[in-house]
Amino acid sequence: MKKNAKLLSSPAVVMAILVLGMVVIYNSTAWKLRSIAAKTIKMVADSKAAQVDVFLELVKSRIMDISTDGYVIICVNLLNSAEKVDKNEVSSDLTTHLEKNKIPILDNFSEVFVMNIKGVVVASNVKEHKGADLSKEPEFLEGKKGFFFGKVELSEDKKNSYLSVSAPIVRENEVIGVVTGVVNPAKLYQILFSTNGTVKSGEVYLVNSDKFMISPSRFDDKAILEKKIDTKATEECMSEDVTGEDVSAAGTKCCIYKNYRGIDVMGAFAAVPSTGWYLIAEVPSDEALLPLKEIYWLNMVVGGILILVIFTAQKAGMEKKSVLSGKGLRSGSSALPGDEDAEDSYGHPVKEIADLEKNIKTLKKEKEETEKKVVELEKINKFMIGREGKMVELKKEIERLKAQIAKIKPKDNA
C-alpha cells in the first residue's frame, strides 16, 4: 500500500494526471464553445432570413394592393376592351392614379407599371417605358400565373441592382393584365449589414439558386451577380450530401469551411422559400472560437506553473534529504526526526529501521552481560567441581583411617 501511495505521489505521475485532466477539461470546454458559436451563427442566419421574409411579404402586399385596386381593374378592362374609348386618356388617368395614390406609399419601389392582357405597358411612372412590349418577359408570363418574384438584376451601368415583383390583375376570375413593381433593395441590404454587435468581422449575404451572390459583399464591391459562391454552405443549400466538419448541436447545424475569400469561417445558412434564395451567415473561425484560444493559453500557463511547482518541491525535497544526511541520519533517509510515516530512498520505513537499530543495541548489551555471567558461572562451577573432588578424596581418606582403626582395636582387647 505504501509503495502504491509513493508511486501515485511521484512527480511524473502527478504531472501525467494533471495533463490528462487539463486535456479532458479543454476538450469538453471546446465542444461546448463550438456548440454555442454554432447556435449563435445559426440564430443570426434564421433571424436575418425571417427579416428578409418580412420585407418580401411587405413588398408582396404592396404590389397586391395595386393589382386588386378597383380603379386599376376598371382602367385595364377598358384598355383591353374593343369599346370606343379614349385609351390614351384612360392610360393617362391610370398613370396619374398610380403617381398620386400608390407610389407615394411605396417606400421601396422605384417604378410601377401596368401591362394589359397583351403584355404592353399601358401605365407607368416612368414615361419612357410606356408602350413597351414585355409580352415575352418573365414578369408578364409568370405574373399572369400568380404572384412572382423576379431575379435580382443589375442596371445597365451595373452600379445599382433591382428586384422586380409581379401580380396578376383579375376581374371576375379572369386575368386581364399584370402589374409589376421595381424594388430598390437598399433596405433589404440594410437588414443584412445590420449585425447588432453579433459579429465583428463576419458577413451575411444572399445567394440565388445558381449560387451567385445577389447582395453586396463587405469585401468585394462587384460581387452582385459576379461572384459565384462554391463553398460548403452553398453545397449544403443545394444538396443534402455534404461533407465537412460538422459542429452541430441540439438541432443547430453549422460547418467550418473556407469561404469565397479563402478564409476559414464558421458558417450557417437559412432558406428564403418565397424566392428560392439562401441566406448565408459567416464568421471567421478565429473570431468565433476566440474564447477557445484564450482557454488554451490559460491551460498552458496554469500547466507550466504547476510543473514548475512540482519540480521546485522535488528539488526542495532532495536538498532536505542532503541536509538530514549530513546530520547523521541513516544514509538514504530523507525524513525528519519524528516523521513516523517517512521512508528512506529505498522505500523502507524510517521508524522501523530506528526501532531495529535500538533492539540490536539492546541485544548486544544483554549478550555482553550474559557472557559475563557465563564466565562467572564457569568459575563457580570449576570451584565447585574442585571442592567436590577434594570431598571425595577426604571421604576416601576417612574410610581408610576407619579401616586402620578397626584393625587396631581387636589387638588392644586381647
Q: Provide the pLDDT for residue 248.
A: 38
- The predicted-structure confidence for 111-145, as pLDDT tens digits, reads as follows 999 999 999 999 999 989 999 999 999 999 999 99
Say how many CA atoms lie within 13 Å of 242 toward its Cβ. 19
Contact 166, 175 (CB under 8 A): no
> Which whole number is the average pLDDT over 350-373?
76
- The predicted-structure confidence for 62-113, as pLDDT tens digits, reads as follows 999 999 999 999 999 999 987 788 989 999 999 999 999 998 888 889 899 9
Q: Which residue has the cell 408602350?
A: 131
- The predicted-structure confidence for 206-231, as pLDDT tens digits, reads as follows 998 888 999 988 888 888 888 988 88
Where does residue 174 fall: left (phi above 0), alpha (psi -120 to 50 degrees), or beta otherwise?
Answer: beta
Torsion of CA 390, 391, 393, 398, to 10 degrees: 140
Q: Provide the pLDDT for residue 341.
A: 53
Give the ranges where 194-334 is alpha helix by DSSP (H).
232-238, 285-288, 290-326
Percentage of residues of the chain with pLDDT beyond 70: 67
Give bridge partners of residue 62 from the DSSP assignment: none
The helix/strand/coil state of 50 is: helix
The helix/strand/coil state of 375 is: helix
Confidence of residue 251 (pLDDT cuts 50, 70, 90): very low
Q: Angle CA(173)–CA(178)–CA(183) in degrees, nearest 5?
A: 135
pLDDT at 359 over 80: no
Where does residue 85 fall: left (phi above 0), alpha (psi -120 to 50 degrees), or beta otherwise?
Answer: beta
| Short-list 115, 144, 140, CA closest to 130 | 115
Q: Angle CA(263)–CA(264)–CA(267) in degrees, nearest 5?
A: 110
Cα separation, 397 vs 226, whole angstroms: 152
| Short-list 148, 149, 146, 179, CA closest to 163 | 149
How many residues are listed for the chain in this entry?
414
| Single-letter code of the amino acid located at 368 | E
Rg (CA), the chain: 55
Contact 234, 280 (CB under 8 A): yes
Q: Provide the pLDDT for residue 66.
A: 94
340 vs 61, more confident: 61
pTM value? 0.63
The helix/strand/coil state of 350 is: helix
